[in-house]
Amino acid sequence: MSSCSRVGLFGGTFDPIHNAHLEVARQSLAQMNLSKVILIPSKHPPHKSEEGMTEADVRYEMVKIAIKGKDDLEVSSVEINRKGPSYTIDTLKEMKEVYGKIAFIVGADNLINIDTWKEPEKLLDSCPFIVAPRGGILKGDFEKDIFEEKDLRFLNMSEISLSSTEVRERIMEGQPVDGMVPERVRNFIREKDLYRVVPEEVSES
């Protein structure tokens, strides 16, 4: 990728956003020479139960707080504003019309199951995919027909172990989350008294 020519798109529920999300964004900027990374909170994630999920506008606000002062990170409400399920193919099409050259940032554990996503072949052909190590998924695991001749770009970084589920569980148990989420996000969670009621299990990328 040439310098300052491509925008990285990083989707997720971000319930809440945590330091591993931000590290993936930072590594994507540094290793893939992106002009910026746009974090996109999902409103209606097709593969996740919404029961117990924090309201989209609150999750958006947490992302906004987390990236405050970081000129190369932005947050978009494109999926929050859209009616219906938050399909990635629709988001990429919409963002490509705005930014031209884009790349999609995704965890390896999610990408490996892309055949369950809407229009997976079209999705993989739409732009490069920047892959963050997660879930014990190895580069060799992508030697499947659906990924043949697709533009997958793997980040050189330690595997991500931190999850939003872990953060929520610690808060519900009254355990500290220092070092897991940005301090401003931690303070926001305290002020809003978030994650004090046990929700349905919601897996998080």
Q: What is the mean pLDDT of residues 31-58?
A: 90
Q: Say whether pLDDT at 99 is over 60.
A: yes
How far is it, in rounded angstroms, from Cα 9 to Cα 6?
A: 10
Residues 6+ apart with CB under 8 A from 42: 11, 12, 13, 56, 79, 86
Q: Say whether pLDDT at 201 is over 80.
A: no
Q: Say whether pLDDT at 199 is over 50.
A: no
CATH numeric code, 7-192: 3.40.50.620
Q: What is the structure's pLDDT at 197?
A: 60
